Structure 1
Amino acid sequence: MFEMDLDVWELIARGAVVYVVLLLLMRMSGKRTVGQFTPFDLLVVMLLSEAAGPSMVGKDQSLWGGLIVCAVLLLVNALVALVTTHFGAAERILEGEAVLLGRDGVLFDAVRKRHRVSRNEINTALRACDCEMDQVQSMFLEADGQITVQKIPSARSER
């Protein structure tokens, strides 16, 4: 249980490499991967964690090996947060930026499709702000995958 099969430095390197590679893969997969999870997204995340586990610990099944990898993951995550806080370019690359989905009552369908935002998600965001599309001043897909809607200030509900 306490005897490690791998060198500490190998466990540290494995954990750091897997974190960085998965971070890059998640960024390449788009904003919707990290936004609101559908059951399919949750399944992918669960399978990713299951697949990545052995690559981080290799043949080491010791308690210490697992704890070292956990500590490395938390440390690398803290370093990424520190870097994105202090460097704007790193923040844009690692966290992304908001994307304009619509303006002045017009939904940009090509942008919506490119970022894999369903019409149902658009309708949900509209209901959340209690407005119709013709009352939208601007609609954004935020870097975290959330959809935010800004209403036209003079728009009133006709109910």
Structure 2
Amino acid sequence: MLNPYLDIIFRSLAVYFFMTIALRIFGKKELSQLNTADIILILLISNSVQNAMVGPDTSLWGGLVAALALFVINFIIKKLTHKYKLVNDLLLDKPEILIHNGTLDFNALSKLDISHEELKEAAREHGLEHLTDIKLCTLEIDGTISIISKDKTNLKETHYKRKHNHKNFRK
């Protein structure tokens, strides 16, 4: 049997990688705007994996060792994603182009479940009346919709955060 603290570190790393892979598979485009169900899910997941990380050791030291292991692996992963493109590509999403030169990318919009109304709302929040006034519209990795106007003088400095997932986009 391993040293109890090495066991906690191993368990914590296993849970960290499991959660990273699960978020990558199930998507994280909604993480920037958590709704009640998302918060409940996060709380339940954290509670369900806590025992998997510390096992029978529910002491203060066991919890601190688990937390330290998570901070260290998170630090290492961040350094690796900055240094190695392959690690970055595996772990992080890419921005998605939604509109280019006034033309909507219906495949991307459908895949991301972004509705026409949601796009129009984002355009209005950026001070634009029509979607055709948009040079470039992108869903960023943090869940915001960034817009670059064809007319640079008409653009308001705002970021549109997705409030919920609409599935009523019409082509």
Q: Tell me, yes or no, whether TM beats 0.5.
A: yes
> For 1:149, what is the secondary structure of its paired residue?
strand
Structure with greater helix percent: 1
Tell whether 2:53 aligns with 1:56: yes
Contact 2:32 2:143 in 1 (8 A): yes
Structure 2 residue runs of 5 or longer lacking an equivalent are 156-171
> For 2:49, what is the secondary structure of its paired residue?
helix
Give matches, 1:97-108, under 5 Å: 97-108=94-105
Change (3 A) 1:95 1:39: same
Change (3 A) 1:17 1:119: farther
Contact 1:129 1:149 in 2 (8 A): yes
Change (3 A) 1:115 1:19: same
Q: Which amino acid aligns with 1:28?
A: I
Contact 1:35 1:144 in 2 (8 A): yes
Residue in structure 2 matched with residue 3 of structure 1 by the alignment: none
**Candidates 21, 25, 36, aligned match of 1:24:** 21
Change (3 A) 1:117 1:54: farther
Count the aligned residue pairs. Answer: 152
TM-score norm. by structure 1 comes to 0.83
> For 1:32, what is the secondary structure of its paired residue?
coil
Give matches, 1:127-138, under 5 Å: 127-131=124-128, 132-138=130-136
Structure 1 residue runs of 5 or longer lacking an equivalent are 1-5
**Candidates 88, 91, 99, aligned match of 1:91:** 88
User: Would you identify which runs of 4 or more consecutive aligned residues in structure 1 move more than 6 Å?
Assistant: none
The two structures, once aligned, show a CA RMSD in angstroms of: 2.2
1:37, distance to aligned residue in structure 2 (A): 2.0
TM-score norm. by structure 2 comes to 0.78
Identical counterparts, % of pairs: 24
